[in-house]
């Protein structure tokens, strides 16, 4: 079985995604557009199922949350009020040595020992000594875990707590010959209407959240909601990221699933804790292994100035722990900003106190594409014993729920199998395949994550029973044709392996 720490795991996932029609490089026939991705036939189903799983959990199954779908292009004043025009910047640095371009946060540190002057950077978890010192350090010190400079001895002279951060260095080549950081706004600009002047500038939204805040009053009055209540939205967001990568982990066009949960300000802390727990459980129900998930609370200096607290849900990707979703207590900042900028009253009338209050907001903001990548990575399994690659997807989100095969292409088996397939198709996504050996057909479906396979064999022609094969355990049971749909529905509901 491939461990998630395996270095080439991501390459194998990218290749599987392309081979099986999950994800393609955008505009591939023209050489591709970097960091833009297209979802193929299986990918679009999986992505839709993930979004449905979220929508069901956050909206449909709850009394206190409603959904909405705002336009991608909004009034430019929205982004002034939200602070995006002024603050949604990333400091951009150019390496004058190798010409790499990266975010300031991606630069590596250039360390120096204050006693012996030994200088080095750390890349790919290895100490890379400055050329001047390269031959003075033992080979074994160049390997291993990241070097924790704080309170650590110098790897060369051993002086205690002597290592200091000297400056920033290029993450590609380690050079300290860098440009000073330039501020770069991450919002995509375009022009609204036929004129191309500054008055017609609009932005592609960099988050879906603002569509919710500006509609706060519309939703409140039309749904007659009582606090606490939430508004949820799934949709595209665009950021002109300086650096992208790790397949669909960070791209310039992506989808978000966001919930803004409005609460009485004095109850914000309670609901913040509630949503952290709720959202973590959601990833587990989605099928992600709990040991690959963790919570990380933001340090004081990481927090946006208006946020009281923020916790990330992180996944242990092959490139390290990284954010899947952020849950933030944003206080009343967002509504306050839009009240100030629009002059409109975005408040809630409390019948008990007969006062208007501006609710605080607890936000849960998740990425669809990151969840998609997580689901695939976490489900990927190289079953060496049976010489197959399996995507052990939760049946509830698998793109195809069941494949139907005639064992052989004769004796009327294809006719019976097609009839079964047509019946199942009216209930769930199914796939019919009669070409190639049965073993190959099973393997193709294992790789697509299809949890069940039905085979029509000679016994079917005698007693109207078929086999249902379980993707993960490879166990087979015989079921009467008339009960197939019911059995499959139960198995999908119960979970796999049951």
List interacting residues with ligand GAP (CB under 6 A).
207, 209, 239, 241, 250-251, 254, 256, 258, 323-326, 363, 365-367, 369-370
CB of 241 to ligand GAP, least distance (A): 5
431: β partners: 403
Rounded CA-CA distance 180/420 in Å is 66
Q: Are 415 and 460 in contact (CB under 8 A)?
A: no
Q: Tell me whether residue 268 or residue 366 sits nearer to ligand GAP (CB atom).
A: 366
Nearer to ligand GAP, 184 or 381 (CB): 184
CB of 302 to ligand GAP, least distance (A): 11
For residue 149, give the nearest of 119, 111, 114 by alpha carbon. Answer: 111
Least CB distance from residue 249 to ligand GAP, whole Å?
6
CB burial readout 147-174, b (16+ within 10 A) else e:
bebeeeebbbeeeeebbeebebbbbbeb
Nearer to ligand GAP, 153 or 240 (CB): 240
b (16+ CB within 10 A) / e for 445-477: bbbbbbbbbbbbbeebeeeebbbbbbbeeeeee
Residue whose CB is less far from ligand GAP, 209 or 468: 209
Q: How far is the CB of 492 from ligand GAP (least distance, A)?
A: 27
Classify burial at 410, counting beta carbons within 10 Å of its beta carbon; exposed 0-12, middle 13-18, buried 19 or more: exposed
Rounded to an integer, what distance in angstroms lies between the CA atom of residue 361 and that of residue 350?
16
Count other Cβ atoms within 10 Å, centred on residue 188: 15
Nearer to ligand GAP, 57 or 365 (CB): 365
- The least distance separating ligand GAP from the CB of residue 307, rounded to whole angstroms, comes to 10
Residue whose beta carbon is closest to ligand GAP: 367
Spatial neighbors of 186 by CB under 8 A, at least 6 apart, are 88, 89, 90, 206, 239, 240, 241, 242
Q: How far is the CB of 105 from ligand GAP (least distance, A)?
A: 13
* H or E stretch at 137: none
Closest to ligand GAP by CB, 239 or 392: 239
Which lies closer to ligand GAP via its Cβ, residue 365 or residue 450? 365
User: Alpha helices of 92-245 — where are they, by DSSP H?
Assistant: 209-213, 216-223
Q: Which residue reads 């050329």 in tokens?
A: 131
Based on CB atoms, which residue is closest to ligand GAP, 258 or 329?
Answer: 258
Give the nearest distance from C-beta 310 to ligand GAP in angstroms: 9
Of 271, 405, 400, 387, nearest in space to 327 by CA: 271
Nearer to ligand GAP among residue 89 and residue 418 (C-beta): 89
Residue 137: strand pairing partners: none
Supply the minimum distance, in Å, between the C-beta of residue 89 and ligand GAP.
13
Smallest gap from Cβ 209 to ligand GAP, in A, equals 4
């Amino acid at each position: 079985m491939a461990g998630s720490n395996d270095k080439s795991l991501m390459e194998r996932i990218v290749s599987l995604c392309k081979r099986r029609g999950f994800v393609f490089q955008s505009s591939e026939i023209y050489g591709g557009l970097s960091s833009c991705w297209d979802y193929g036939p299986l990918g679009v189903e999986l992505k839709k199922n993930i979004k449905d799983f979220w929508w069901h959990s956050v909206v449909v199954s709850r009394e206190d949350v409603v959904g909405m779908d705002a336009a991608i292009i909004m009034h430019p004043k929205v982004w002034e009020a939200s602070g995006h025009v002024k603050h949604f910047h990333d400091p951009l640095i150019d390496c004058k040595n190798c010409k790499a371009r990266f975010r300031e946060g991606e630069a590596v540190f250039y360390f120096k020992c204050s006693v012996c002057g030994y200088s080095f950077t750390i890349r790919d978890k290895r100490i890379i000594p400055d050329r001047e010192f390269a031959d003075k350090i033992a080979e074994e010190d160049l390997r291993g875990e990241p070097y924790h400079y704080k309170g650590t001895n110098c790897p060369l002279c051993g002086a205690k707590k002597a290592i200091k951060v000297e400056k920033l260095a290029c993450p590609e080549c380690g050079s300290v010959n860098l440009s000073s950081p330039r501020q770069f706004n991450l919002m995509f600009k375009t022009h609204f209407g036929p004129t191309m002047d500054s008055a017609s500038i609009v932005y592609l939204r960099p988050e879906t959240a603002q569509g919710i805040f500006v509609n706060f009053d519309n939703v409140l009055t039309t749904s007659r909601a009582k606090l606490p209540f939430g508004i949820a939205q799934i949709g595209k967001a665009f950021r002109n990221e300086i650096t992208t990568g790790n397949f669909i982990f960070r791209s310039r066009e992506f989808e978000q699933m966001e919930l803004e949960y409005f609460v009485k300000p004095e109850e914000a802390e309670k609901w913040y804790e509630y949503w952290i727990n709720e959202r973590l459980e959601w990833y587990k129900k989605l099928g992600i292994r709990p040991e690959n998930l963790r919570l990380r609370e933001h340090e004081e200096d990481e927090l946006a100035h208006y946020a009281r607290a923020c916790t990330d849900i992180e996944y242990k990707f092959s490139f390290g722990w990284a954010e899947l979703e952020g849950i933030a207590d944003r206080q009343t900042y967002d509504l306050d900003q839009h009240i100030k900028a629009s002059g409109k009253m975005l408040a809630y009338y409390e019948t008990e106190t007969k006062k208007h209050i501006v609710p605080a907001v607890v936000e849960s903001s998740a990425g669809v594409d990151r969840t998609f990548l997580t689901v695939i990575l976490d489900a990927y399994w190289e079953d060496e014993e049976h010489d197959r690659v399996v995507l052990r997807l939760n049946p509830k989100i698998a793109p195809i729920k069941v494949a139907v095969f005639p064992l052989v292409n004769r004796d009327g088996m294809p006719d019976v199998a097609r009839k079964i397939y047509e019946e199942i198709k009216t209930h769930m996504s199914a796939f019919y395949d009669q070409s190639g050996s049965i073993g190959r057909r099973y393997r193709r479906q294992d790789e697509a994550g299809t949890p069940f396979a039905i085979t029509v064999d000679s016994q079917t022609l005698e007693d109207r029973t078929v086999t249902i094969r379980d993707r993960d355990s490879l166990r087979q049971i015989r079921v009467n044709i008339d009960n197939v749909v019911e059995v499959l529905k139960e198995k999908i509901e119960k979970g796999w392996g049951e």
